[in-house]
Structure 1
Amino acid sequence: MTTVSQYAKNIAVIGAGYWGKNLVRNFHELGSLHTICDSETRTLLDFSNKYPGLNTA
């Protein structure tokens, strides 16, 4: 059986707005989140502070 840990750090969320913030939270809790992309600089800064060590673009 394949587990999430075998695919850890492989997901990028593009668009971290209304639904994206929920995806970011859930993928981060699973240990699968690698990068967050958003057109709003403020949104990226907020996520960088909340989830240190994640890539933002």
Structure 2
Amino acid sequence: MTDGDRAHQGFIDKRVYERLKEKEDVMAKAIDGNLLVPEITDDYLEDVKRIISGV
């Protein structure tokens, strides 16, 4: 936005702020609700075992 553009003053900043707040709320709910649980598959564990054992 330029200084001469008064018709939409602050519109983009307001939208960006609103979207960031929405994302913050989603992340806070995920963290507080224990929704962020790492998923470890059996294949991943087998790969780790192979790396550690040197096979």
Question: TM tier, shorter chain?
Answer: under 0.3
The alignment's TM-score, normalised by the length of structure 1, stands at 0.27
Greater share of residues in strand:
1
Greater share of residues in helix:
2
